[in-house]
Structure 1
């Protein structure tokens, strides 16, 4: 094997690891945002909920954008976050390194939740997740195979 081929194999391996690390980081950040996301609990509301109310609209509105920020609100609910997380994971490109990722929530009350106006998230969630970002990166890199 020549030196040039050795370098090419090294570059390919490094690129694959970078792709895996970036994908893992996006998945972990999305999971943390989902875990911290409040799901409407009408027992604490001043007014009764609409008939048939099911919480989870905020969770359903977490969206992934790759190189472009998603716009608009998503209809419906996802109380467990499973469907939304699945869509985010499916949206991560195989060659994920070198791209800009946006995890956004366009629910009209998202900023109020981040400002602490939720009993379930009194200190918000995005800022707290951002404070954990270095640990999320470290964990994703540590999880890479040798």
Structure 2
């Protein structure tokens, strides 16, 4: 998955400060794409959602049965003394506490991804000139800090004459994240949304130029 932008067409708007505008726009685009990249969260995985829903339903069913049992007790006068107190040996059942729902019914449990650490996709954004990078980084970067820092270093070397600045993410599931709504964190993708803001980034960069 890649996109490239030729920013030379904005030379007039840049008032001769082409390099400065290109760098600022590219940094804003990089930041937008990285920040919109989803970070794997096992709690959002379908298998775990289904697991928690099933366990929550089981806990709710337990509490429902408790309510029925207590109602039956209340409807039977023989369970009470003349003063209206429960007779010895007759006890109301108790609904689950929050702790019991967690410990006994595992309503927050995971069936997969217990040791998973997200951030590999976010950390795999790479910036280059003219030709896109082709490799994959062995990097987990949940905040995107290292990806931004690396990209910023490359963008800082931009000079007039460079035709395109490429931002690449070569992880194989990138297209599914971008086009198939594979992540609830980025249902409309990352690149497509960020590129629609391109003109806004240009206008912002130009407005910040010295008078």
After TM superposition, is the score higher than 0.5?
Answer: yes
In structure 1, the residue matched to 2:41 is: 41
CA distance in 2, matches of 1:64, 1:95: 11
Deviating 4+ runs (over 2 angstroms): 93-98
Higher gyration radius (CA): 2
In structure 2, the residue matched to 1:143 is: 208
1:57-72 correspondence to structure 2 within 5 Å = 57-72=120-135
- Pairing 1:85–2:148 present: yes
Q: CA deviation at 1:18?
A: 1.0
- The alignment partner of 1:33 has SS state of helix
1:20/1:96 contact within 8 Å kept = no
Equivalent pairs, count: 131
Q: 1:98 aligns with which of 145, 148, 161?
A: 161
CA distance in 2, matches of 1:113, 1:130: 16
1:21-32 correspondence to structure 2 within 5 Å = 21-32=21-32
Q: CA deviation at 1:119?
A: 0.7
Q: 1:124 aligns with which of 189, 197, 201?
A: 189
Question: Structure 1 residues 83, 38: closer, same or farther in 2, change over 3 A?
Answer: same
Gaps of 5+ in 2: 1-14, 48-110
Question: Structure 1 residues 50, 97: closer, same or farther in 2, change over 3 A?
Answer: farther
- The alignment partner of 1:56 has SS state of coil
Q: Please, what TM-score do these two structures have when normalized by structure 2? A: 0.59
- Pairing 1:54–2:106 present: no
In structure 1, the residue matched to 2:101 is: none
Q: Please, what TM-score do these two structures have when normalized by structure 1? A: 0.83
Gaps of 5+ in 1: 1-13
2:42/2:114 contact within 8 Å kept = no
In structure 1, the residue matched to 2:100 is: none
- The alignment partner of 1:65 has SS state of strand
